[in-house]
């Protein structure tokens, strides 16, 4: 049987998972791929990984370029992460005529247009299933499985760390900071959790999902990004009382004005499937004009789940080695010359419902002032909870859900309400999505 030779860059969690999966399932995989797939060389800066490679019969080096320049290798797996030197290595490998498999969402979201351009010129594939939602084959589902559809919207829980934190905050009525520490102890959050809790990781993934859904270039800089650091367990409880769960979503919608690209905490009605995706699990809902709403659920991170996607990509590339590049499934779902330049919407143009929580002086006329401001801005109230002030406090809590209104109108309304003498401090604002499905 033909042997496909693979070079691996990065022997961390996912890299060692890929070696394990390819070794353990060698028979099953060759029955599917029609070829034997072998990792023959691997590189990592940490030379203590040499032993692991020796044990597995893999040539080890601490110089990634040695692997990238090895003429015997057909496919390079890039699992280093980050922008540099991952980008330089991938471009060099493409220049050398090698196919690329990567789990690097940051690299694809920011430099994908350049990388796919280079790959197209050389007639090689760049596969990146593992870059979004770990083991869930969401790229394949959108790019190939739903290819008959005009995709209308995509909404996903695409950061396991954030979802774990929100789930724990709800289940244990805990505060954000405490749960973050717990997540770090459990290994679900990095020592520097910024990318996860500030929504940057989710924004990378949303950038990729939007591109393959609508056939638009990757445009990470257009994503409105808000993290989960300001969500309190109090808001989670109020949302619960109103019939909602708070989830950190990546959302992209096709509208007449352009494409919405946004990552933020979101109230979702509890009966929604997405609202019930808990812990570190990921799920992506995709709505197409023909198929309606579909959902894809599974582990969004971890060694073997992510390796599952990496190895599936290797098998896809291995199967296609005999194929002329023109006939392949295009990397970004649509053929490069057919990319659409429809604009990404500014967040102020986006319309959602809103959950608002504010502290107001407990005296007559306050609610009338608030209602007037909202009405002036075209904001309708859908539900309202008013809590008497505790005995040691003169401020009452007002919680409301509004109907859909533009972010611009809501910004103006919030500004006006916050400027009232009767309102204490800042208003908490969380967007509400109903997902028409």
Determine how many CB atoms are found less than 10 A away from the CB of residue 158: 30
Min CB(341)–its own copies separation in Å: 13
Stretch that binds its own copies, among 323-331, 366-374, 397-405, 421-429 (CB under 8 A): 323-331
324 binds its own copies (CB under 8 A): yes
3-state DSSP assignment of residue 284: strand
Which residue from 46, 63, 117, 335 is in contact with its own copies, where contact means CB under 8 A?
335
> For residues 125-164, which are near its own copies according to CB under 8 A?
129, 135-137, 140-141, 143-150
- C-beta closer to its own copies: residue 82 or 123: 123
| Least distance between its own copies and beta carbon 219 (Å) | 18
Q: How near is the Cβ of 303 to its own copies at its closest, in Å?
A: 9
The bridge status of strand 59-61 relative to strand 3-9 is unpaired
Token pair 């005009």: residue: 150
Exactly one of 9, 14, 19, 22 binds its own copies (CB under 8 A); that residue is 22
> Per CB under 8 A, which region of 60-68, 106-114, 335-343, 391-399 contacts its own copies?
335-343
Among this protein's residues, is 205 annotated catalytic? yes
Question: Which tokens sit at 252?
Answer: 């992209």
Question: How many residues make up the chain in this entry?
Answer: 437
Residues 193-222 that bind its own copies (CB under 8 A): 215
Decide: helix, strand or coil at residue 292. strand
CA dist 337 and 117 (Å) reads 11
**Alpha-carbon distance 326 to 330, whole Å?**
8
Distance CA 197, CA 119 (A): 33
- Distance (Å) of CA 4 to CA 72, 96, 222, 349: 10, 16, 39, 49
Q: How far apart are CA 54 and CA 51, in angstroms?
A: 5
Question: Segment contacting its own copies (CB under 8 A): 72-80, 102-110, 300-308, 362-370?
Answer: 300-308
**76 or 141: whose CB is closer to its own copies?**
141
Quick one: 123 or 292, whose CB is closer to its own copies?
292
SS3 state at 362:
coil
Among 220, 297, 354, 355, binds its own copies (CB under 8 A): 297
Supply the minimum distance, in Å, between the C-beta of residue 410 and its own copies: 32
Query: Taking the complex as a whole, how short is the minimal distance between the CB of residue 343 and its own copies, in angstroms?
Result: 18
Catalytic residue among 87, 98, 205, 253: 205
Q: Which of 249, 261, 312, 370 binds its own copies (CB under 8 A)?
A: 312
| Residue 15 is a binding residue for its own copies (CB under 8 A) | no
Per rule CB under 8 A, is residue 330 in the interface with its own copies? yes
The count of chain residues that interact with its own copies, using the rule CB under 8 A, is: 69
- Each residue of 39-51: b (16+ CB within 10 Å) or e? bbbbbbeeeebbe
A 10 A CB-CB count for 170 gives 18
Tokens of 303: 């060694």
Is residue 361 within 8 Å of 355, Cβ to Cβ? no
Residue 299 in the binding site for its own copies (CB under 8 A): yes
Spatial contact of 33 and 43, defined as CB atoms under 8 Å apart: no
| Positions in 27-86 near its own copies (CB under 8 A) | 28-34
- Residue range at the interface with its own copies (CB under 8 A); choices 20-28, 40-48, 165-173, 218-226: 20-28
Q: Packing angle between helix 303-319 and helix 26-33, nearest 10 degrees?
A: 30
Torsional sign, CA 57, 59, 64, 69: negative
Active site residues: 205
Binding residues (CB under 8 A) for its own copies: these are 17, 21-22, 24-25, 28-34, 129, 135-137, 140-141, 143-150, 215, 273, 276-277, 288-299, 304-305, 307-312, 314-316, 319-324, 326-330, 333-335, 338, 340
């Amino acid at each position: 049987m033909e042997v496909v030779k693979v070079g691996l860059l990065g022997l961390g969690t996912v890299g060692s998972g890929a070696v394990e999966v390819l070794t353990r399932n060698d028979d099953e995989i060759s029955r599917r791929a029609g070829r034997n797939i072998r990792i023959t060389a691997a590189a990592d800066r940490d030379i203590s990984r040499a032993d692991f490679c020796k044990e597995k019969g893999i040539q080890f080096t601490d110089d990634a370029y040695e692997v990238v320049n090895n003429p015997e290798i057909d496919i390079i797996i890039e699992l280093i992460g980050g922008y540099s030197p991952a980008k330089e290595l991938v471009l060099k490998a493409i220049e050398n005529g090698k196919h690329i498999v990567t789990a690097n969402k940051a690299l694809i979201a920011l430099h994908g247009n350049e990388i796919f351009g280079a790959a197209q010129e050389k007639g090689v594939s760049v596969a990146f299933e593992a870059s979004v939602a770990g083991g869930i084959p969401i790229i394949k589902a959108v790019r190939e499985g739903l290819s008959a559809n005009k995709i209308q919207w995509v909404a996903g829980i695409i950061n396991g760390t954030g979802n774990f934190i929100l789930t724990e905050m709800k289940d244990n009525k805990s505060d954000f900071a405490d749960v973050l520490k717990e997540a770090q102890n459990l290994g679900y959050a990095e020592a520097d959790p910024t990318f996860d809790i500030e929504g940057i990781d989710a924004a990378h993934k949303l950038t990729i999902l939007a591109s393959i859904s609508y056939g638009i270039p990757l445009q990470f800089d257009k994503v409105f990004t808000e993290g989960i650091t300001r969500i309190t367990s109090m808001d989670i409880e109020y949302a619960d009382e109103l019939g909602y769960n708070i989830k950190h979503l990546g959302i992209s919608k096709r509208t007449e004005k352009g494409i919405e690209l946004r990552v933020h905490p979101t109230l979702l009605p509890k009966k929604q499937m997405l609202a019930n995706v808990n812990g570190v699990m990921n799920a992506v809902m995709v709505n197409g004009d023909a198929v309606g709403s579909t959902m894809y659920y599974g582990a969004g991170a971890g060694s073997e789940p992510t390796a599952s996607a990496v190895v599936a990509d290797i098998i896809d590339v291995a199967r296609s080695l005999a194929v002329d590049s023109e006939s392949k499934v295009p990397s970004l779902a649509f053929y490069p010359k057919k990319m659409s330049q429809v604009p990404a919407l500014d967040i102020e143009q986006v319309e959602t419902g809103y959950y608002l929580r504010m502290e107001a002086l407990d005296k007559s006329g306050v609610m009338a002032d608030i209602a007037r401001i909202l009405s002036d801005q075209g904001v309708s109230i859908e539900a309202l909870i008013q809590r008497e002030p505790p005995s040691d406090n003169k401020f009452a809590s007002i919680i409301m859900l509004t109907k859909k209104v533009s972010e611009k109108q809501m910004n103006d309304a919030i500004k006006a309400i916050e400027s009232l003498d009767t309102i204490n401090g800042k208003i908490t604002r969380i967007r509400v999505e109903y997902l028409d499905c």
